[in-house]
Structure 1
Amino acid sequence: MSQLVCATSNCKRIARALCHCCNRNICLLHLKEHNDAFLSQLNPCADEINSVDYRLVSIDAKVLLQEYHKQLEEWRKASYKTIDQIFEEKSKELERILIEKIDKQKIEINLVRDTITKLNEEAEASQLDVDLIKTKISRLNENLTNIEQISFKINTYPLIIDNNAVQIEEKKDLQTILSSPFKTIDFTDLGSPIIASNNKYLLLHQNSYLCLIDNDFKIFKKIPWHLKQIHDICWSSALDRFILTTETCGICYVHENSISLQDVECLTRQRFFSCSCSNTSLFLTTDTVGSSIIEFCLLPTIELSRQWQSPDTCTKDEYINRIRYSHGTLGLVIQNLTENTLKIELRCSKTLDRFWSIPLSSGLKLKQYEYCVFNDCQWLFIDRISSSILHITNDEKIKQTCNYNSKLCNVALFGTDILAVLTDKCIHFHKL
């Protein structure tokens, strides 16, 4: 019986084993070399699996779930508040019933007392008068006894809370959200690539009109727009209207019912570019290099509250292109016009102290990007050149970069659970 020779090149040894990796007959020496080579690759794998295990062990469930426990706690407090309100209402109802009975008897007592006083003043009274008074007093005593022994029947029923009153769903990542819209509205002749919304309407500039899109994803109203380009739009809950910064007329209002435009007299002395609102204030950036940030108090009247200037806002050769308010913070997009660099910063809305700053790749030109507030105090940065969206968390982390399959112009939250994506030809609506 002939013996097999090792299949390894230039090896004349007799093959003693079959290498399952390359399916060749090799000698024991080369089998050991094969094994040693594979074993040498296992060491990095062992280190990597240890690293993965360390990451898993390092996960702090309390930290990850802290914000969501806070939401559940808010729901719990709101539920208890509802119970407390019912308790207070029913307690007042009990008190009201008893007080009405007592007040009625006070009136009767005063009437009998007035009768006795009148008879004494007139110095004449008959037996009939005395008997009538005694009868009334007797009835009053009976009524008081009934009040002192009053009893109520309180019917209470078990408080039934549907388990579906609180539903927990794992949020989709942004790329999954953007993969397929559930609704699309086609249009032509986009005016300004700016959109804004409240819980009822989405406002956009189409051709020579301002359009309001309602929750049924239909154009609710149109108003002719003869002014030039719109720089920015924000919704003010305090004024119950949209605020627009424009190229020519400064600040304009758009009311969701009348859709009327007004100049704001106290705000027309400067040219503004970007705008954003809290519940009580309007924040504006000036349309100048070395941009200033101006805060106006909106209630009870529009009044200047404070103003920050360069270098507190930005350097003399920088321009604030976007300002967005969220939960006591201001998100800023700042472009250095000399170096053509870009950065995103998070500031305190009261002091303008910087929480963090993220530099972005250079090369983006003015008005070729957008910025909006996302859910849970997160942010979306929109690059129109590459049609991509950068998802940034509130703690300075770039969570995800997503490419969009159409020419991207802008995005905005529509209500709390819909992301409206504006392209050059339509608006896509994505469910969060």
Structure 2
Amino acid sequence: MSFITTSENIHCKLCTKGNILCKGCQTTFSNNHFQRLQQELGVQLDDLSNICNSLHNPLLSSTTNNNKQQTNLIEKIDQWEEETKQKITLVAIEARQKVEQNINEILDKRNKDIGLISDEIREIEYITISTLKLDIEIKKEINWLSMIKVVETKVNLNQLETMKPRTIIDFQSNGKWNILGCSNKTFLQYISGLNQLHFYNDNGDNDEPIHWSINEHIKDICWSSHLNQYILLTPTQLYTMNNREINQSHPIPSQSESKLLSCTCSNQTLLLSYDSGQYE
């Protein structure tokens, strides 16, 4: 509380003697009354301080409680976060296991399907190989003697009609003699001096020559529709040829030393001619 002493003619309201001015209430007091005012104001200030303390304690307690509640709330949030993480981890593990299980089931099914397909392929290969072996064995068991007959016939050349050829094949023999044979779709030429075989298709196109490595020269060539192969005749042997591959020889039994000259086929019959003698 502030006060000033004034020399003006202003006196205390209570005793009209004082000259102390209170700056707070702008009232003039005497010295005694001013001290009493101080005491009263001190009492009021103490009461006000008590009131403030009484208000501060609940506020402080409330703040403490709020802090505890906030702490509890944060702890609950942390607990919720941890529980959520655990649940997410469990869900992720379960989802991963299901995906791996589905992948394994798909792979197992695919492996089983591949195994079945492989078994079918092996079975088909086995059947194919068995069929090829059977076909080869049947061809090996062909009774060539039953196909060989000697037939004497006469042909009137005047009755033959001349037809215009569909395809003309021009080939060079290089001054060597040639043996020719043909099927419905191919034409086979043998050049003796060069020991070469040439294949021609129905358009007259020539493939790479095939080297004839047999010691005997080819005497004649004919096509067997029954065997679906060319028959190559040497003086003492018969060879079959298909798809540019020369197969094993088939010796022809003979009671004399006569050499084979020519051959021709008709269905399942093979006709051969000799330079002398007769073959039955």
TM-score by length of 2: 0.42
Structure of greater Rg: 2
Could you say which structure has the higher strand fraction? Answer: 1
Could you say which structure has the higher helix fraction? Answer: 2
TM-score by length of 1: 0.29
